[in-house]
Amino acid sequence: MVRSVSKTIFALCAFFALHAHSAEGGPNFPPAAGGANAATPMATQAPKTTSLSIPPFSALKLGSDLTGWTFQPLRGVKKTTLYTVVNDAETNQHVIEAKAVAGAAALGVRLDVDPKQMPSLRFKWKVGNLIESSDPRTKEGDDYAARVYVTFATDPGRATFRERTENAFFRTLYGETPPRAALAYVFTHKAKLNEVIVSPFTSRVKKIVVDADPASVGKWKSFERDVYADYKRAFGEEPTRISGIAIMVDTDNTHETASARFGDIFLSEK
């Protein structure tokens, strides 16, 4: 039970959870995890802008400098994904290299953004290898060599009875309220391109396959997504505000090894 709940909590990116809104209207976030990979959270973005300044990986120093990002391990998972700033010879830019050996952890940034105003999400990654025993539809195979999460703030007024019950349980267990929902843009050769897959851990997370080609391994691939349209397609409702973005490479279920490199992430008007 604890193992399953741990994965469920992270699948919702609980480290972006909103306890409540302050008098200024900004979210109160839990503190960053400690250790060498810890980083300071990004300040809440003012709503009326045309482009969001997400801390660029290309501006970080080589090594363990993750300034502006928060490293988040998973409760109950002994091994963590290692995130390192490296220079990519092909692009001649500093990027994040993530490597998981039977482990999991994420790298995230807190946001407060209207997805209808700034729906355009751009990101790129280079997948290092396939996870042969992965399966996006089962808990045992729910691992990815690359994924980008977008989380959406909780909304008590729209919560179902089941969601209110889950939220109360999570608050008791973790001291945090999870987001209402999350989109996960994933690479997997075990599903079809553009397929929407419900997480085997929680219906609050919908995964969208943005790359399903095994030949993508070792190549930089760029993506541009309409987060607003993707949310409506996946969940069939209007989204709440975007509360965070995270990257992750994980193999805690399959116990394999996986790696990927991630370039800068952008969120802007269309």
Q: List, for residues 179-198, the tens digit of each pLDDT value.
A: 889 999 999 999 999 999 99
Instruction: Give 85-146 as a 3 state SS string.
Output: EEEECCCCEEEEEEEEECCCEEEEEEEEECCCCCCEEEEEEEECCCCCCCCCCCCCCCCEEE
Angle at 173 between CA 169 and CA 174, to 5 degrees: 115
Question: What's residue 50's pLDDT?
Answer: 66
Question: 203-220, pLDDT tens digit by residue?
Answer: 889 999 999 999 999 999
Angle at 13 between CA 25 and CA 264, to 5 degrees: 85
Written out in words, the top-level CATH class of the domain with range 2-268 is mainly beta
Tokens of 33: 């995890």
Q: What are the φ/ψ torsions at residue 11 (nearest 5 degrees)?
A: -55, -30
Spatial separation of the C-alpha atoms in residues 239 and 80, rounded to whole Å: 31
Dihedral sign for Cα 64, 84, 245, 18, please.
negative
Which amino acid, residue 14?
A
Q: What are the φ/ψ torsions at residue 163 (nearest 5 degrees)?
A: -65, -40
Identify the segments of the chain with pLDDT beneath 70: 1-51, 173-174
Domain boundaries, the chain: 2-268
Question: What's residue 18's pLDDT?
Answer: 30
